[in-house]
Structure formats: C-alpha cells, structure tokens
Amino acid sequence: MKGFRDFLMRGNLIDLAVAFILGAAFGSVVTNFTQIIMDLIGLVGGNPNFGTVQIGSINVGKFLTALVSFVIVAAVLYFGIVRPYQLIKNKLAKHEAPAAPTTEDLLTEIRDLLAQKR
C-alpha cells in the first residue's frame, strides 16, 4: 500500500493531472475563441460553415470546416502560447549565469599552471 501511495504522491503524476485539467479548461477557451474567429469570417465572407460544399457527389464541407477550425486553433496556440514562451525562455537564457567550467577545463588549467612552475 505504501508503494501505491508513493506512486500517487509522486510529483510527476500530480503535475500531469494539473496539466490535464488546465488543458481541458484551456481547450474550452480556444474552442470559443475559434468560434468567434469563424463568426468573423462569416461576417466577411458569408457563412463559415462549409457543410454543404460538395465535389461531385462527395460532401467535403464538414472536412473543410474542421480544417479551417484546426488551422485557427493551431494559430492561436502558436501565437498565444508557443511563441511567447520561446521569447521568454530565450530572454531568460541570456540572463543566466555562465556555465561552470567542466572537469576537463579545470584539469587543463591545472596542467598549464604546473607546466609554468617547471
């Protein structure tokens, strides 16, 4: 029983659960934002629901509607989350302390100092 409790209380599982819940909540926000964009497209170019579009006898309208929605969601995620995250990460990386010298660098420095004393 202790092992199971440790498994449940491990940080990774809790972090994953929080991420899943936030992802589901954020999914609702993105879906509603996508609907706003689709409505704006509808105001400009008519009905954004392509459900009746056919090529020959094949109805491709639902696929086109889903494709446009997917592209809008991808753009919102990229420009709203991924790109700002990358910019912040790069900005913070510039302000980090320089990396500590490696063991190899230290040994080379010691060797050079010993060579100078001879």
Which mean pLDDT values do the consecutive 10-residue runs of the chain (118 residues) have?
A: 75 78 86 82 74 84 85 85 90 76 90 89
CB atoms within 10 A of CB 48: 19
Angstrom CA distances, 113 to 1, 87, 99, 105, stand at 58, 42, 22, 12
Say what the pTM is: 0.54
Residue 104 lies inside a defined structural domain of this protein: no
Any residues with CB less than 8 A from the CB of 68 and at least 6 apart, and which? 38, 41, 48, 50
- 48: containing domain: 2-98
As a whole number of angstroms, the distance between CA 112 and CA 23 comes to 55
| Residue 60 is assigned to a structural domain of this protein | yes
Q: What is the CATH number of the domain that holds 89?
A: 1.10.1200
